[in-house]
């Protein structure tokens, strides 16, 4: 009978093994349109003559050799994608994958984050008639040769359909921005002419209308419209998990949850079949596992390389470290609320105190010690964009100057070494997420501030609590901090940002507000309102110089360091150019040695 027990256990074990060994192949691939051919790379297959664009052109077909090993580029992701449908995910990793299989943005951005036309034939402007005189109507002319991987043409109808899905109340899409507030209607004049009409002139249109940057690029109408009509929603569409039809250089092949995603070369890609045969995305749990995979040669792309791993990667010699400017800034925000429910420390109401606090911190040293000196402090929030004021000045590291400012403001050093004024001690709550490098930063900052007589309490929250909403009593949204630090960005590459607007202040009447610094500056509000409708970049840039001056002078924002994305690309990869805005934009040009 014990034998029977063992036999039963072994039987169960064998059954499970068979189940899981079979599982990958059993992931149902629904027979939608004609599936793309999955033939392995065959040499001597002539590529079609590429259409005239300003992109590099594949030349002669590869010379026939003995069946070569398939060219598989491997990428490691530290997070599992939640959904591959752009409307249902805001995960950065998903946007990376979109560059492989979807690529239906009207424009895209190159490695210098300059806009280049993609599905649109050219960037609309006043000169070519793409932008109307009153700035309210933008007309895109689409490429005639753009097509989905199943052969269906990619037309303006797909974009109209995408807009309808975003706006439908039956779809719980992640974001309707900017369509809900700014877009009046989207129409297809004909198959290759797309017309977007705005309620008011909308300055950030380039980066945010059907753009891969905010994941509102086109989804296939011929696949998803039938689903919408049948189920009443596309929330649960199979395409969201198995997007077998896309318009990118690679076609989705499979996704095994928790393990990997596979993308196969698309022979029908409208710029010609890519040189690689497959891109394999492996999901690893954390940085340490990614580093181990890099050392073992199990991956070709490492993402979000942390500063402490960089010396080791360079020592390995098999990877190139590539920096992609993404507009992210590791920033300090101070709580300026005066409402008793959410107020910050009263000392922060004095701009000189705010300046002193920043001046007391040796940010360059922190960058040296914790980040290997590989980045720098930013002078403005819009660093690395045309909107950054080249004349903006950084607050210097000047502990003596800081002490003087604090003394002049009435905060005198007490017997315990901590400053106080009117019986109130200068003790600040410094909150951030629980990321390693931030915790270490906190330790160093605490000591630096102690040197000038400011006591600091260190607080850490997990990210999902840090970014939670006012309604959930989240610590930042309800003002339970004095200084908070995290890495954030505008609508990069567009400079627009809503975090300092008066109307975004969270409260009981407005629990969804995101202005968790509780700043209400009428001058700033007016400038932001003006830039939002100034479509001409030449006129818009000076507005941002003014905005930047206010934000810096009043210490609404302070830079800890410029936080670009760091990639590690294997030296076997050829022709890889990574964009900070649209990461894998040139995947169709990649090759491997």
Rounded to a whole number of angstroms, the minimum distance from the CB of residue 281 to other proteins is 9
Rounded to a whole number of angstroms, the minimum distance from the CB of residue 469 to other proteins is 6
461 binds other proteins (CB under 8 A): yes
Rounded to a whole number of angstroms, the minimum distance from the CB of residue 221 to other proteins is 19
Question: Of 172, 316, 539, 574, which lies in the binding site for other proteins, with binding defined by CB under 8 A?
Answer: 172
Integer CA distances (angstroms), 474 to 249, 427, 499, 531, in order? 42, 21, 17, 31
Give the binding range for other proteins (CB under 8 A) out of 122-130, 166-174, 383-391, 398-406.
Answer: 166-174
19 binds other proteins (CB under 8 A): yes
Q: Quick one: 292 or 424, whose CB is closer to other proteins?
A: 292
| 43 backbone φψ class: left, alpha, beta (φ>0; ψ -120 to 50) | beta
Distance CA 141, CA 131 (A): 12
Rounded to a whole number of angstroms, the minimum distance from the CB of residue 14 to other proteins is 10
Distance CA 275, CA 330 (A): 38
Integer CA distances (angstroms), 106 to 52, 124, 143, 155, 218, in order? 17, 10, 10, 11, 9
Give the binding range for other proteins (CB under 8 A) out of 135-143, 383-391, 437-445, 542-550.
Answer: 437-445
Rounded to a whole number of angstroms, the minimum distance from the CB of residue 199 to other proteins is 15
Q: Quick one: 116 or 261, whose CB is closer to other proteins?
A: 261
**Element containing residue 138 per DSSP (H, E):** strand 137-141
316 binds other proteins (CB under 8 A): no
Question: Of 29, 35, 48, 80, which lies in the binding site for other proteins, with binding defined by CB under 8 A?
Answer: 80
Tokens 């010609």 belong to: 272
Give the binding range for other proteins (CB under 8 A) out of 140-148, 265-273, 338-346, 455-463.
Answer: 455-463
Integer CA distances (angstroms), 330 to 146, 261, 327, 376, 568, in order? 39, 31, 10, 11, 21
Closest by alpha carbon to 210, among 286, 102, 300?
102
Q: In the range 349-408, which residues lie near other proteins by CB under 8 A?
A: 369-370
318 binds other proteins (CB under 8 A): no
* C-alpha of 450 from chain center: 36
Q: Quick one: 499 or 550, whose CB is closer to other proteins?
A: 499
Give the binding range for other proteins (CB under 8 A) out of 115-123, 433-441, 550-558, 578-586.
Answer: 433-441
Rounded to a whole number of angstroms, the minimum distance from the CB of residue 500 to other proteins is 13
Angle, CA of 480, 485 and 486, to the nearest 5°: 115
Question: Of 137, 174, 188, 418, which lies in the binding site for other proteins, with binding defined by CB under 8 A?
Answer: 174
HSE of 258 in the Cβ direction (CA atoms, 13 Å)?
3
Q: Quick one: 151 or 311, whose CB is closer to other proteins?
A: 311
Give the binding range for other proteins (CB under 8 A) out of 121-129, 386-394, 441-449, 547-555.
Answer: 441-449
Give the binding range for other proteins (CB under 8 A) out of 23-31, 139-147, 334-342, 574-582.
Answer: 23-31
74 binds other proteins (CB under 8 A): yes
CB 561, CB 365: distance < 8 Å: no
Question: Of 436, 523, 536, 553, which lies in the binding site for other proteins, with binding defined by CB under 8 A?
Answer: 436
Distance CA 316, CA 444 (A): 30
Q: In the range 493-522, which residues lie near other proteins by CB under 8 A?
A: 498-499, 504, 510, 512-514
Question: Of 32, 33, 82, 321, which lies in the binding site for other proteins, with binding defined by CB under 8 A?
Answer: 82
158 binds other proteins (CB under 8 A): no
Question: Of 145, 184, 200, 312, which lies in the binding site for other proteins, with binding defined by CB under 8 A?
Answer: 312
471 binds other proteins (CB under 8 A): yes
530 binds other proteins (CB under 8 A): no
CB 104, CB 217: distance < 8 Å: yes
Helix (H, G, I), strand (E, B) or coil at 575: coil
Closest by alpha carbon to 86, among 70, 71, 99, 73?
99
Q: In the range 240-299, which residues lie near other proteins by CB under 8 A?
A: 240-241, 256-260, 280, 282-289, 291-293, 295-296, 298
Q: Could you tell me the two tokens for 121? A: 């034939």
Q: In the range 26-55, which residues lie near other proteins by CB under 8 A?
A: none
Angle, CA of 260, 266 and 270, to the nearest 5°: 140
Q: In the range 94-133, which residues lie near other proteins by CB under 8 A?
A: none
Helix crossing, 221-231 with 156-167: angle to 10°? 30
Would you report the helix, strand and coil content of the chain in percent, each value rounded to 5? 30, 20, 50
Helix (H, G, I), strand (E, B) or coil at 458: strand
CB 432, CB 440: distance < 8 Å: no
Give the binding range for other proteins (CB under 8 A) out of 30-38, 404-412, 453-461, 544-552.
Answer: 453-461
442 binds other proteins (CB under 8 A): yes
């Amino acid at each position: 009978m014990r034998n029977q027990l063992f036999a039963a256990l072994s039987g169960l074990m064998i059954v499970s093994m068979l189940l899981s060994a079979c599982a990958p192949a059993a992931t149902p691939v629904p027979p939608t349109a004609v599936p793309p051919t999955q033939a392995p790379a065959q040499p001597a297959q002539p590529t079609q003559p590429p259409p005239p664009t300003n992109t590099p052109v594949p030349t002669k077909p590869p010379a026939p050799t003995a069946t070569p090993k398939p060219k598989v580029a491997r990428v490691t992701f530290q997070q599992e994608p939640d959904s591959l449908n752009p409307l249902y995910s805001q995960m950065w990793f998903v946007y990376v994958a979109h560059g492989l299989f979807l690529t239906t943005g009207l424009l895209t951005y190159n490695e210098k984050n300059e806009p280049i036309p993609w599905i649109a034939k050219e960037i609309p402007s006043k000169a070519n008639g793409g932008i109307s005189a009153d700035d309210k109507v933008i007309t895109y002319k689409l490429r005639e040769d753009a097509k989905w991987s199943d052969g269906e043409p990619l037309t303006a109808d797909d974009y109209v359909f995408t807009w309808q899905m975003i706006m439908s109340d039956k779809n719980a899409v992640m974001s309707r921005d900017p369509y809900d507030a700014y877009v009046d209607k989207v129409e297809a004049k004909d198959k290759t002419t797309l017309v977007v009409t705005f309620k008011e002139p909308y300055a950030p249109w380039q980066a945010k209308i059907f753009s891969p940057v905010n994941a509102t690029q086109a989804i296939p109408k011929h696949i998803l419209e039938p689903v919408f009509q049948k189920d009443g929603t596309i929330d649960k569409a199979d395409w969201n998990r198995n997007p077998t039809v896309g318009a990118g250089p690679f076609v989705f092949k499979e996704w095994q949850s928790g393990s990997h995603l596979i993308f196969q070369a698309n022979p029908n890609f409208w710029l010609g079949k890519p040189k690689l045969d497959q891109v394999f995305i492996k999901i690893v749990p954390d940085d340490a596992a990614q580093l181990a995979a890099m050392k073992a040669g199990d991956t070709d792309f490492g993402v979000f390389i942390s500063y402490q791993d960089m010396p080791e990667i360079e020592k390995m010699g098999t990877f190139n470290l590539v920096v992609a400017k993404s507009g992210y800034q590791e920033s300090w925000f101070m709580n300026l609320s005066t409402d008793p429910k959410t107020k910050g420390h009263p000392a922060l109401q004095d701009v000189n105190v705010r300046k002193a606090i920043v001046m007391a911190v040796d940010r360059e040293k922190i960058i040296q010690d914790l980040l290997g000196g590989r980045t720098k402090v930013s002078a403005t929030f819009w660093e690395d964009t045309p909107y950054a004021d080249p004349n903006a000045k950084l607050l210097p590291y000047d502990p003596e100057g800081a002490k003087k400012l604090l003394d002049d403001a009435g905060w005198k050093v007490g017997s315990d070494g901590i400053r106080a004024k009117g019986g109130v001690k200068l003790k600040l709550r410094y909150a951030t997420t629980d990321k390693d490098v931030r915790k270490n930063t906190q330790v160093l900052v605490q000591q630096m501030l102690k040197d000038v007589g400011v006591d600091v309490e260190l607080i850490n929250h997990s990210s999902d609590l840090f970014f939670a909403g006012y309604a959930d009593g989240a610590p930042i949204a309800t003002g339970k901090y004095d200084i908070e630090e995290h890495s954030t960005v505008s609508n990069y590459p567009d400079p627009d940002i809503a975090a300092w607007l008066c109307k975004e202040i969270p409260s009981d009447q407005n629990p969804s507000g995101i202005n968790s610094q509780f700043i209400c500056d009428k001058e700033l509000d007016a400038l932001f309102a003006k830039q939002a409708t100034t479509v001409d970049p030449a006129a818009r840039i000076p507005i941002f110089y003014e905005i930047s001056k206010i934000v810096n002078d009043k210490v609404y924002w302070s830079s800890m360091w410029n936080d670009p994305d760091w990639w590690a690309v294997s030296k076997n990869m050829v022709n890889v150019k990574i964009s900070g805005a649209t990461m894998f934009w040139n995947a169709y040009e990649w090759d491997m040695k």
